[in-house]
Amino acid sequence: MTPVLEVEGLVVEMRRHRVAFRAVDDVSFALEPGSALAIVGESGCGKSLTLRAIMGLLPNRGRLISGRVIVDGVTLPSDARGRGRGHRQHRRMSIVFQDPLSALNPVATIGSQIAEAPRHVLGLGRGASRARAVELLRLVGIPDPERRYHAYPHELSGGTRQRVMIAIALSSDPSILLCDEPTTALDVTIQTQILALLADLRAERGLALVFVTHDLGVVSQVAERVAVMYTGRLVETGPTAAVLPAPRHPYTSGLLAAALDVDSPEREPVPIPGSLPDPLRLTSGCSFQSRCRFATPECMTTDVRLERVGPDHEAACLHSDVLAAAQAAGRRG
């Protein structure tokens, strides 16, 4: 199948104290219609910036240095801020943020905010765009949509606001939905509902999903593919069902060992030693080497890139086979 979204060699520079550093460094991936990719990593790894660069919403301190975003085979035009100048293909993508309250207009009814894109982007008439907004409210599972059309954001709960954000994102009839930690601020029972909604939208509308999260427990529920990000780079990508049980990058394996699992309370979480390197002082070689128990002198000099380690599975580590052997030994012992 031809991919609906291709990201090639995305590089974003951010400025901090007048010094520029690479916050997103050579990120590439492709997404087929109806498929989902989870990008997982800790704060500051560049996962949200990647989404913003794709969407053309880089903050003022950010600059798109290079890279291409291709939607349905058409390369989107972009300037240094990653802005796509309202290209027709650009409208095939929508984004949902973590905090719906700051993304919604507090003085407009939710209905009018959903009807905006149908009216002004799709060019529907007033009545038709209104009807479409009501239909979208129903689609995202908001009861009594005709009445709720007139509600203001502050009258709604966090979960309902996030449903409204999804309705707005769907209102321009996109084929790609970019999600930036959409359930992080929600309670778990509500998170489950939103994840189920996204899964239904994928199945029913063939929507492709890029889902950014810090929560490994969510990854397996939303996406069949996962990309692990560390200091601006993808360090491991592959099928979720292959990566989580047998990670081939020490950072992925460290994240999994540090996470608690509600089903195995006796397992002690093992923290990753050290802390995130200062992005302004990144040295040559692998950026994880100072925290890595498999590191050798080569890791300080070699510029490691993603390499194939299994079917459809890549890792950026010189010693991924050593890690695999250690895991096998651990399972046997």
**Binding footprint of other proteins on the chain (CB under 8 A):** 42-43, 157-160, 187-193, 195-196, 199, 214-218, 220-222, 240-241, 244-245, 254-256, 258-263, 265, 268-272, 275-276
DSSP string, 127-178: HHHHHHHHHHHHHTT-SSHHHHTT--GGGS-HHHHHHHHHHHHHTT--SEEE
- Smaller CB separation from other proteins, 3 or 277: 277
- Smaller CB separation from other proteins, 66 or 192: 192
- Smaller CB separation from other proteins, 107 or 188: 188
Closest C-alpha to 201, from 227, 176, 219, 184:
176
Handedness of CA 300, 305, 306, 309 (dihedral sign): negative
Instruction: Provide, rounded to whole angstroms, the least separation between the CB of residue 187 and other proteins.
Output: 4
Instruction: Provide, rounded to whole angstroms, the least separation between the CB of residue 64 and other proteins.
Output: 26
Task: Determine the distance from the C-alpha atom of residue 152 to the mean position of all C-alpha atoms in its chain, rounded to a whole number.
Answer: 28
H-run or E-run covering 42? none
- Smaller CB separation from other proteins, 83 or 214: 214
Closest C-alpha to 40, from 327, 259, 277:
259
- Smaller CB separation from other proteins, 122 or 276: 276
Instruction: Provide, rounded to whole angstroms, the least separation between the CB of residue 215 and other proteins.
Output: 6
**Sheet hosting strand 74-75, strand order edge to edge:** 19-31, 5-16, 62-71, 74-75
Instruction: Provide, rounded to whole angstroms, the least separation between the CB of residue 157 and other proteins.
Output: 5
> At 256, which amino acid appears?
L
Instruction: Provide, rounded to whole angstroms, the least separation between the CB of residue 246 and other proteins.
Output: 11
Contacts with 268 (C-beta within 8 Å, 6 or more apart), sequence order: none
Closest C-alpha to 231, from 30, 5, 49, 58:
49
Instruction: Provide, rounded to whole angstroms, the least separation between the CB of residue 84 and other proteins.
Output: 32
- Smaller CB separation from other proteins, 82 or 250: 250
